[in-house]
Structure 1
Amino acid sequence: MKKLLFALALAACFTFGVPNLATAEKECQSGNMESCTQAGALYLYSDNPNKGVKLLKETCDKGDMSSCWILGSEYIGKGILEKDIEKAKFYFEKACDGGYYMGCMSLAVNIYGADDMEKAAIYYRKGCDLGNALGSFDSCYKFAIYNQHIMNNTKKAVQYYKKACDMGKDDPIAEITDIWQKSCDMYELLK
């Protein structure tokens, strides 16, 4: 999952008009924060990953929450950086607290997961309630499942299945996953 999310993040880098590292770095030096994040992410998988980490830390400290999330993702230990769960948690929390949905989702999935469903549910809900990014409906869906199956709270489950269904209607990510449709189906079944 983490590799898929990072691949989506890198794909977004190119989608928003940064064709290569040299261009991203030049735009970064001109003060474009988004380009700094893109350059940092690209450097991670270049021959100079330390420069990528440094650049991502700088942009994270300046308030770019996607940089914080990328760092957290790398500290999970499946990428370039050595596994450090505390650092991953730190960067995911910073991203989540800064309003970046993926930080919340990553805390729920990568840090708490099945080990602490109550904590994971807190972050699924927070990610859902942010509702400001592609794929946010996934957090709503998972929070609905938690309420339906763990808390036996059908009323709250229905509320979040509906929210996931509504959010997914205009989300292009919904087209590549069945979660959105499952949300709509569960809402119709339980309402």
Structure 2
Amino acid sequence: MRIFLYIVFLIATINITSADEPKTINAMEAQCEAGDLEGCDYLGFQYYKGKGVQQNYKKAATLFERACDGDHARACTKLGHMYRKGEGVEKDYKKSSDKHHIACDANIATSCLVLSVYYTNGWGVEKNLNKATNFLFKSCQIKENKYCKQVFK
């Protein structure tokens, strides 16, 4: 009997979650329109992943751009990745590096690590191994990743 009640509870929870998702999307749309950058970032991620809405890279990029323009650093990282991959925007390493610079300046470790790779290879920036090392070091100072231990022993 307990197992049956537990299964009923799980099914009800799944249905409630699914039913509430459009409400969350609508709430985030309203918040984004009102200037809430976190709402724009959240909504952009939903469109990027196709969660609760039909996947739409262009709409995701537009929402990330709005949040990034308002100095929402995580949105800048996401937009930088989209420019690198050409998802919803024209592939552009220069624009990608510009967005990652904004995010790295705000201490987003992932963007600092990406900039290290860009400066190592000259993607969207002039090749500069000193800058590449500095961005890698900054990334490691913010948040240690698997490369930190290998490079900075």
TM-score normalised by length of structure 2: 0.72
Match of 2:21 among 35, 49, 65: 49
Q: Identity, % of aligned pairs?
A: 25
Gaps of 5+ in 2: 1-16, 86-90
- TM alignment of 1:106-121, pairs within 5 A: 106-109=78-81, 111-114=82-85, 115-121=91-97
Q: Is the radius of gyration larger for structure 1 or structure 2?
A: 2
Which residue of structure 2 aligns with residue 123 of structure 1? Answer: 99
CA-based RMSD of the aligned residues comes to: 2.2
Please tell me the residue identity of whatever aligns with 1:126.
Answer: I
Q: Is the 8 A contact 1:141 1:164 kept in 2?
A: yes
Q: Number of aligned residue pairs: give it.
A: 129
Q: Distance in 2 between matches of 1:138 and 1:57?
A: 27
Confirm whether residue 137 of structure 1 aligns to residue 109 of structure 2: yes
Match of 1:84 among 56, 69, 89: 56
Q: Is the 8 A contact 1:161 1:184 kept in 2?
A: no
Task: Map Cα deviations across residues 130-180 of structure 1 (whole Å, 9 max, x no partner).
Answer: 12xxxx111101111100122421121122112112112xxxxx4xxxxx2
Match of 1:100 among 58, 64, 72: 72
Change (3 A) 1:85 1:148: same
Select the structure with the greater relative contact order (CA < 8 A; seq sep ≥ 6).
2
| SS of corresponding position for 1:83 | coil
Runs of 4+ off more than 3 Å: 183-186
Q: Is the 8 A contact 1:164 1:184 kept in 2?
A: no
Q: Distance in 2 between matches of 1:184 and 1:155?
A: 19
Task: Map Cα deviations across residues 6-28 of structure 1 (whole Å, 9 max, x no partner).
Answer: xxxxxxxxxxxxxxxxxxxxxxx
Task: Map Cα deviations across residues 20-79 of structure 1 (whole Å, 9 max, x no partner).
Answer: xxxxxxxxxxxxxxxxxxxxxxxxx53143321221022223333221111111112532
Q: Distance in 1 between matches of 2:62 and 2:27?
A: 17
